[in-house]
Amino acid sequence: MISAMQGALGLVSGALVGFSLGLVGGGGSILAVPLMVYVVGVGEPHIAIGTSSVAVATNAAINLFGHARGKTVIWSCALVFATAGIAGAFAGSILGKMLEGQKLLALFALVMLVIAALMLKTRARVGLPSVKINWSNFPALVGLGLAAGTLSGFFGIGGGFLIVPALMLATGMPIMNAVSSSLVAVTAFGMTTAFSYAWSGLVSWDLAGLFVAGGILGGFLGTRLARHLSERRGALNMVFAAVIVAVALYMLARNIAQFWT
Looking at the structure of the chain, the number of domains it has is: 1
Picking from 2, 85, 8, 82, the residue whose alpha carbon sits closest to that of residue 48 is: 2
Mean pLDDT of 58-78: 87
Per-residue pLDDT tens digits for 4-35: 888 888 888 888 888 887 777 766 666 787 78
Provide the pLDDT for residue 124. 53
Task: Determine the structural domain holding residue 182 and report its residue range.
Answer: 4-260
Give the DSSP H/E element, type plus range, for residue 75.
Answer: helix 75-96
Per-residue confidence band for 234, with pLDDT thresholds at 50, 70 and 90: low
Span of 56-60, 130-134, 153-157 with lowest mean pLDDT? 153-157
Q: Is 233 a residue whose pLDDT tops 60?
A: no
Cα–Cα dist 77/80, whole Å: 5
What pTM did the predictor assign? Answer: 0.75
Provide the pLDDT for residue 78. 92
Q: Is 228 a residue whose pLDDT tops 60?
A: yes
Interacting residues of 5 by C-beta distance below 8 A, sequence separation 6+: none
Per-residue pLDDT tens digits for 95-149: 777 766 666 667 777 877 887 777 676 655 555 667 888 888 899 999 999 988 8
